[in-house]
Structure 1
Amino acid sequence: MPHQIEFTVRSTDLDFIGHVNNAKYLEYMEWARFDWFWQTGLTLDELQRRAVMPVVVNININYRKELRIREQVVARTSAVKLGGKSFVIRHELFNQREELVADADVTMVMIDANTRRSTALPAELREALSAELALP
């Protein structure tokens, strides 16, 4: 089942034509991604303690509909693919009418914070991704 967070479009999210700036969609997805990580027990403090960090290496995003001020947004995050040191997650943003407004596949690589080289995924993350991928 996809992880889900909800929020409201703020005035500071808008560009000069009055809808959400394209870069803000990526920020919304980042909020969802961090919340998703925390739900697995891998908070920022825990990742720093382990000296490992997830790094975005690729994002493929589709902008489908505009979002406007005060709209309610639901961000859903789910696993798509699992590798030894990397994984792909999908973000989907929906407006209050349940219309898909944007979606993206995000490829991330886990790195050792000291050497800045790729490293194996933490067991908790691997288990969470594997469990999600096993769902119908």
Structure 2
Amino acid sequence: MEHSKTYTIVESDLDELGHMNYLRYIKIFETARFGWFEQIGLRFENLLEEQLGPVLLKLETEYSKEVRLGDTVEIRSHLIRVGTKSFTLEQTMIHEGQTSATTTAIMAIMDLQKRKAIPVPAEIAKFKVNL
């Protein structure tokens, strides 16, 4: 299942070189990840009520084409791996039909009381057969 979100680059996203700062890429990808979670039925508020939370285990980002003020980008997020306690989301930032950046996020759902990863929830595990 792919989730898509658009975002328009604003002045506060830019660095001194006039293109988007690398930290803003990470934040925009994070916002899109939360949209993906909601789309599959895992709302952040509901997870917190159950004393659970998504955690990032590894994040790897490749920047391939700069984006600048006023550019509108599309973030596409999709699951590429499901393990027993972790899963991997790949996200691509597209501008004018070209990839601007790609990030791979290895994640888990953590029991906030025990501070340990739990088995991948059914809402995510059900996609394993399609990978």
- Which TM-score band (shorter chain)? over 0.9
| Counterpart residue number, 1:130 | 128
**Residue 58 of structure 1 aligns to a residue in which SS?**
strand
Q: Please, what TM-score do these two structures have when normalized by structure 1?
A: 0.91
Match of 2:58 in 1: 58
After TM superposition, where is structure 1 displaced by more than 3 Å over at least 4 residues in a row? none
**Secondary structure class of the residue paired with 1:27:** helix
RMSD: 1.2
Q: Identity of aligned pairs, percent?
A: 31
Question: Could you tell me which residue of structure 1 aligns to residue 8 of structure 2?
Answer: 8
The answer as to 2:91 corresponding to 1:91 is yes
Quote the offset at 1:78 in angstroms. Answer: 0.6
CA distance in 2: counterparts of 1:13 and 1:93, whole angstroms: 15
Looking at structure 1, the residues matched to 115 and 52 of structure 2 have their Cα atoms a distance apart, in angstroms, of 9
Question: Could you report, residue by residue, the CA deviation over 1:10-47 in whole angstroms, capped at 9, with x for unpaired residues?
Answer: 11100011110011111111011000001112111111
What secondary structure sits across from 2:116 in the alignment? coil
Q: What residue is the counterpart of 1:25 in the other structure?
A: 25
Cα distance in 1 for residues equivalent to 2:35 and 2:72: 18
Amino acid in structure 2 at the alignment position of 1:29: F
1:81 counterpart SS class:
strand
Q: CA deviation at 1:125?
A: 2.3
State the secondary structure of the residue aligned to 1:125: helix
Structure 1: runs of 5+ lacking an equivalent: none
- In 2, the alpha carbon distance for the partners of 1:50 and 1:84 equals 20
Match of 1:117 in 2: 116
Work out the CA distance in 1 between the residues paired with 2:63 and 2:46.
33
Give the unaligned 5+ runs of structure 2: none
Superposed CA deviations along residues 100-130 of structure 1, whole A, max 9, x for unmatched, are: 0000111002210111111112212222x32
Q: Report the TM-score when normalising by structure 2.
A: 0.94
CA apart distance, 1:49: 1.6
- For 2:41 and 2:109, the matched residues in 1 are separated by 16
Higher mean alpha-carbon deviation, 71-80 vs 109-118, is at 109-118
Higher strand share: 2
